[in-house]
């Protein structure tokens, strides 16, 4: 059971870092399209920004990362509530 928790924590950490970099790339491509940055060609920026596979990938990461965090937080709340209620 401990090995599964460690694996889930590692998956969550990888998902969080990947999500960070994907969202950073989205922000940069959006600013390039608005004309604030010019170090990436506009055509490349538009194709990245509206790319379906990258959007699906970021959506999956947006499901994985918060989902795991919410699962563990609810588990901690349940444990704390059970301890509080059986305290006597």
For the chain, what are the domain ranges?
A: 2-85
Query: Chain centroid to CA 55: how far?
Result: 12
pLDDT of residue 88: 59
pLDDT at 41: 83
Residues near 38 by beta carbon (within 8 Å), at least 6 away in sequence: 32
> In tens digits, what is the pLDDT along the chain, a chain of 88 residues?
788 889 988 999 999 999 999 999 888 888 888 888 778 788 888 888 888 888 898 899 999 999 998 988 888 888 888 888 887 5
Q: How far apart are CA 61 and CA 53, in angstroms?
A: 12
């Amino acid at each position: 059971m401990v090995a599964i928790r460690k694996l889930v924590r590692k998956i969550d950490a990888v998902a969080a870092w990947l999500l960070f970099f994907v969202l950073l790339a989205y922000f940069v491509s959006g600013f390039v399209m608005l004309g604030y940055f010019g170090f990436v060609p506009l055509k490349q920026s538009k194709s990245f920004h509206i790319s379906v596979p990258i959007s699906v990938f970021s959506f999956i990461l947006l499901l994985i990362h918060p989902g795991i965090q919410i699962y563990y937080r609810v588990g901690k709340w349940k444990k704390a509530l059970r301890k509080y209620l059986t305290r006597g």
